[in-house]
Amino acid sequence: MAIDEGHATLLHVNETDQSKNWIVPIGQPAARDMQLIGRNKILIGHHHGYSEFDIALGRLTKEFKLLEGVTAVRRQSNGHTIIAGVDIPGPKGVVVLELDANDQEVRRAVFPGDYVRLVRQTEQGTYLMSCNDRIREGSCDGKYLREFPVEGFYHAWKSLRLPNGNLVVTAGYGAFVVELDPEGKIVRKFGGKESVPENVRPFFYAMFQLLPNENIVLANWQGHGPGLGQSGVQLLEFNLAGQIAWSWSKPDLISSLQGVLVLDGLDTTKLHDERNGMMQPLTMM
């Protein structure tokens, strides 16, 4: 699955059976987040809230669009939805809402700040928040617990905590991937323009996924709007040595990919999340 931000579309690509491929308009601006939520559905977060699509046909099955400023969404095992963004109507700041199964607000946390992109929950029950030039970890009651600034982060996009306590982060316009130890020191850094072929054109490293073999697949976004399909290789898989193990880009099909979700090996009937780094099913309550 991929979000083509340039065309404002959602793609399903099956490289072994092209009859299962589809492309549909998302229908809402600034689609930035994506999650496998079970029942063969994909959750897409956008500026006004979220939409759900059927994986088999690309059919829109639900749309919630009553908000503004949304950048991240995560479905919970109890059917609730976590929504995050900046200045979501109410007190200003970085806002994390919890909506119940009927999309009614049941909890709100407001953090100081004016920028956030993707937010991921941890096994410890905290939020990892991508705040431009740093990653911040926050509690559910609106307090920052620690932060991890890194030189070169610019609109940092997503972070995950690994079982060993390290963080993996995509640097946005920094166009590299970094692994940080629990004190914020760089353990490894890879994917930058100095270490990949010129045609890759690292521009903005956005959503990524940690695979079972510990490789990382990421979207190399190339800019806003149509006409960017020829610009750079837009899906990249890096192995543990920081080398490109696989890539995918279809200039005649896409413009600029910002989100990616690899479905291989996942049970699409189950809700999945990344609280332990790897994409794993959550037990529904």
Q: What are the tokens at 140?
A: 């559910």
Is it the case that residue 284 has pLDDT exceeding 80? no
The identity of residue 205, as a single letter, is: Y
pLDDT band, very low/low/confident/very high, at 96 (cuts 50, 70, 90): very high
Task: Round to whole Å and give the CA distance between 193 and 199.
Answer: 10
Residue numbers of the domain that contains 116: 2-281
Band (208; pLDDT cuts 50, 70, 90): very high
Residue 70 CA: distances (Å) to CA of 118, 233, 239, 264, 277: 10, 28, 32, 28, 23
CB 115 within 8 A of CB 105: no
**119: CATH:** 2.120.10.30
Two structure tokens written together for 281: 């099913």
pLDDT on residue 137: 98
**pLDDT more than 90, % of the chain:** 98
- pLDDT tens, residue by residue, 46-65: 999 999 999 999 999 999 99
Averaged pLDDT, 177-198: 97
- pTM, whole model, 2 decimals? 0.97
Question: Could you tell me where the beta strands, DSSP code E, fall in 122-162?
Answer: 127-131, 134-138, 144-149, 158-161
Cβ(135)–Cβ(49) under 8 Å? no
Reported as type and span, the H/E element at residue 278 is strand 278-281
What are the tens digits of pLDDT across the range 224-247?
Answer: 999 999 999 999 999 999 999 999
Tell me the average pLDDT of the chain. 97
Contact 96, 76 (CB under 8 A): no
Count: domains in the chain: 1
Give me the pLDDT at residue 45, please.
98
List the beta bridge partners of residue 247.
236
Query: Tokens 């700041």 map to which residue?
Result: 93
| Nearest alpha carbon to residue 60 among 72, 42, 48 | 42
The pLDDT-based confidence of 199 (bands split at 50, 70, 90) is: very high
Residue 283 pLDDT class (50, 70, 90 cuts): confident
